[in-house]
Amino acid sequence: MSYSITRICTSCGVGNRVPAEHLPDKGRCGSCKAVLLPLEEPIDVDAAAFDGITRDSRVPVFVDFWASWCAPCRMAAPEVEALARDMAGRAVVLKVDTEQHPDLAARFRIQGIPNFTILRNGRVVLQRVGFAPRSEIRRWIEQVRP
């Protein structure tokens, strides 16, 4: 069964259930028929959302493992938000708060943050620790795209 998230239509405010495999696609609101653009913001996820999205996504999934007390993570946050806008339709961007979800951090052996991980077909294809500018992160994603 496909995992889905609810996206709010900017025209009418109605929630629309969007399967993970369609997050990078344009769609239409089920109520007002306005265009729903590809996902262009990072999604804060828990383990269930993480697993569903990384399993079902047709595009690379970029994950920012972070914590609120981490100064480099706070510096990276605007870069990650801009990256989500830049890569809309070509990648999905997730954020995992390692303090709230230590199980996910442990699963990916996160020992330093920020930790940037890219998954393709549910598997890690790249993992880097430490701040990186958006241009470099974009290059990493482009390298793993088919």
12 classed as catalytic: no
Closest CA to 56 of 99, 16, 25, 102: 25
| Integer Cα distance of 118 and 1 in angstroms | 23
70 classed as catalytic: yes
What value, to the nearest 5°, has the Cα angle with vertex 108 and ends 110 and 58?
A: 130
Tell me how crowded residue 121 is: count the other CB atoms within 10 A of its CB.
Answer: 11
9, 29, 32, 70: the catalytic one is 70
9, 29, 32, 73: the catalytic one is 73
Strand partners, 124: 119
Catalytic residues: 70, 73
